[in-house]
Chain A
Amino acid sequence: MTVLVWITEGSWQACVDAALATAASSEPIVLAHVTPAALHGAAEGAFGALLGRHHRDPAAQIDHLASESAQALLAAATARVGTWPGGIETIERRGHVEREVVALAAGVRLLVCGRTGDTGHLGPRSLGHATRFVVDHAPCAVLLVWPGPAPDIATLPPPPPDHSPPR
């Protein structure tokens, strides 16, 4: 079986470490990075509105930059894994981030991903939109890690007013 590690800018180190601690040594580790299509889309849209002024396409430059950055991130993650008996594979994609990750998770044993929201407090906001979608829809087991030290238990929100403790 395979362990898939979703590499993001904010949480890649914690995810790699969690994968190393969890994966069986015979299991292949797949490191995957997805660049949001919106990066290109937003620039392309603004550029498209500049009718007649197209001597340099910022969207193409952004693709180039994002691709270089993703490769650098995957290279850093691969180096952090070091040598792995089960083998390492890297995947770089561009598109609808959460859907790409869910699609990649088909057939793997475990998906390791990091929280990408407000990581200063315990609670639902610590999951960004994409992570929330992936956790909700993943077709495999999910290991959800904090990118840094987990927040103090004191940041747990108080119970709602009408909440009565179970007897």
Chain B
Amino acid sequence: MTWHELVAVAALAGVLAFAIRRPRDYPEAVAAVPAALLVVLTGGLSAQEAWHQLTTLLPVVIFLIAVLVIADACDAEGLFAALGGVLGRASHGRPQLLLTQVFVVAALTTAVLSLDATVILLTPVIVATALRARVSARPHVYACTHLANSASLLLPVSNLTNLLALSASGLSFVRFAGLMLFPWLVVIAGEYAVFRRFFAADLSGAATATGPSTASATGATSPPDPLPRALRSDLAVPMPQTEPIPRGPLIAVGLVLLGFGIAAPLHLEPVWFAVAGAVGLAAYGLVRRRLTARRVARAASLDFGIFVLGLGVVVSAVAAGGLGHAVDRILPSGASFLALLGVAAVAAFLANLLNNLPALLLLLPLLAGRGAGAILAALIGVNVGPNLTYVGSLATLLWRRVLRQRGIEPALREFLYLGALTVPLTVVLGVVALWCSLALVGS
């Protein structure tokens, strides 16, 4: 390993450590931009290569920012709160039914509005819904966090990794979705089967238990179950509403999806439909005073975009060096089932070692000549894999220390155990399904 390769690896480690520790709440870009400059100045990557990487990543970053703005505007219109209300009523306090509905809603939210929307916007609403129904919130929280990863296979917009892979794969938006539909469904079904067994006690216990309705029926001594104050007033926490699902955002999101579908025949880039949707929904929210310019700017998180660009340059330098060659040597080639499984396994391993974003940035240049099937298999690995350790195992170590410093015990054993049960199963199921899709549809 030459010294500028060492600099690149150290820069990547530094960027990731900074991103997890976030000293003084500085944005991640504070470390990523100097790290990117460092690898270029030390010769780890030429200025032309760095520029090429930036221009490749920029449309992807714009696409992601547009999707983040769309999701936040949907939240401001009350979409997620209304969904929570619908789930609360339709589940009739039955935790098994609620879990099934949470699976459907979380899978669709992740697929259409990206995993960020599920983690940041949907999860608190689902917790509120479960708490209000007086059922254990544990399975439902895990369902949201797991599906944010494993249900992000369907559309290019579901995950930043998919957007990064889309152009490298040479697939159109619709073809991508067509090939990933079967893996998406199979992976979700695998998660569901494990969840039903893993959380059997939580899901059956409250089925006969006393919910709020019984509470008011069982006697004059028990007061009506009060709605948690956070659900009533605090704007920071969306409450499960009784209002119907708002139509405006649904129509807008439907039009954007339609745009993605017709983008290829019209020879337009899908990103422009996302940008149009983001601008339209933001304007709609601003006019209706559901949104403020400040909130839109925050949802767009431009600092995140800069972080991704910086990270992309640093990872490019790492991929061009000895580490990239080492990964290249262990990546199987060919389109056989075992080759695809091998690519997915390496991708899942790297996603857990680093984080899914740098893992995919590292893999993409190595997979460029191996066909769309290999790239989609890598996506199964980097998207589903993080359910094993979430942040990536190195990062998890740091993250545990951060939590400890804040006096929080992360209950790591439970989610590692659940991850160990779901991830190997769903990665294998996903690759089997992908292999079938490729055989049926062709890549």
Contact = CB atoms under 8 A, between A and B. Distances in A.
Interface string A1-30: 000000001111110000000000000000
A10 B136 contact: yes
B208 A120 contact: yes
A119 B392 contact: no
Given A53-B120, A75-B226, A36 B138 contact: yes
B124 A37 contact: no
Interface in A86-145: 95-96, 115-120, 125, 128-129
B234 A64 contact: yes
Interface string A34-61: 0011111111111111111111101001
Contacts of B19: 51-52
B313 interface: no
B201 A37 contact: no
B293 to A, nearest CB: 14
B119 interface: yes
B116 A49 contact: no
Contacts of A116: 201-202, 205
Interface in A46-87: 46-56, 58, 61-62, 64-69, 71-73, 75-76, 79-80, 82
B218 interface: yes
A13 B119 contact: no
Given A9-B134, A48-B395, A61-B124, A42 B209 contact: no
A128 to B, nearest CB: 4
Contacts, number: 217
A39 B208 CA distance: 23
Contact of A49 (B214, B356, B412): B356
A12 B210 contact: yes
A116 B397 CA distance: 33
B127 interface: yes
Contacts of A47: 119-120
B390 A49 contact: yes
B230 A39 contact: no
Contact of B148 (A46, A76, A96): A46
B136 A9 contact: yes
Interface of B: 16, 19-20, 22, 27-29, 68, 115-116, 119-120, 123-124, 127-128, 131-132, 134-138, 141-142, 144-145, 148-149, 200-202, 204-210, 214-215, 218, 221-223, 225-231, 234, 236-237, 298-299, 301, 303-304, 307-308, 355-357, 386, 390-392, 395-396, 399, 403, 408-412, 414-415
Contacts of A71: 228
Contact of B415 (A41, A95, A147): A41
Contact of A147 (B208, B304, B392): B208
Contact of A52 (B227, B304, B386): B304
A118 B153 CA distance: 34
Contacts of B396: 45
B138 A39 contact: yes
Question: Does more than half of chain A's interface fall in helix, strand or loop, or is it mixed?
Answer: helix
A115 B210 CA distance: 12
A39 B141 contact: yes
A140 to B, nearest CB: 23
Contacts of A68: 228-231
Given A38-B415, A48-B399, 14 more contacts: A9-B135, A38-B414, A41-B410, A42-B138, A51-B19, A51-B355, A58-B124, A64-B237, A68-B231, A71-B228, A80-B221, A125-B204, A148-B208, A148-B209
Contacts of A64: 230, 234, 236-237
A71 B225 CA distance: 11
Contact of B237 (A37, A41, A65, A119): A65
Q: Which of B144, B230, B355 has its CB near the most chain A CB atoms (within 10 A)?
A: B230
